[in-house]
Chain A
């Protein structure tokens, strides 16, 4: 068990709605990254937060946004949901900015109908 927890574990949303996913990082870790894993593919980097500031972003549209809080927990917000947003969303925490091993949560399975 990594100590990274995500909530909820599953949810179903309707196209056009908004969703917020949450992540509690491992104790002592100040860096959180979010990934989207579509079925049959590897995780794709969405963005990373380091000490409450965005610290890099992958090829995702602006309707994917995030926050990191002073306790280093994080949120991923997706607006105007599309069917293709259906995926497993993974949160990973790291002890610093450098990309050593990242500790992943179990993920949130989002289904958009």
Chain B
């Protein structure tokens, strides 16, 4: 079973911020939260990851709650090219293990 829970779909108006939630209530202390997105049928693309502090890069921001049981991916100014399926997963950053992808959130950016 996936370790994360995400809403199946969301809409966002073009130019507005898209806030994608993820629940990971069973995350352990040394597991990171990673976000990927999959545009159409391409291979998934890494967006961002974090442990407990908020993170920002050129693509997005990641807000992790203090208890680390949930997080939010923020696309500050959504464009039509951000229409994709967004996956939130948890994994150890210090090594590799079986990584489970759920079904993600289908984000539709509306003109």
A associates with B: no
Taking Cβ atoms with an 8 Å cutoff, the residues of B that contact A are none
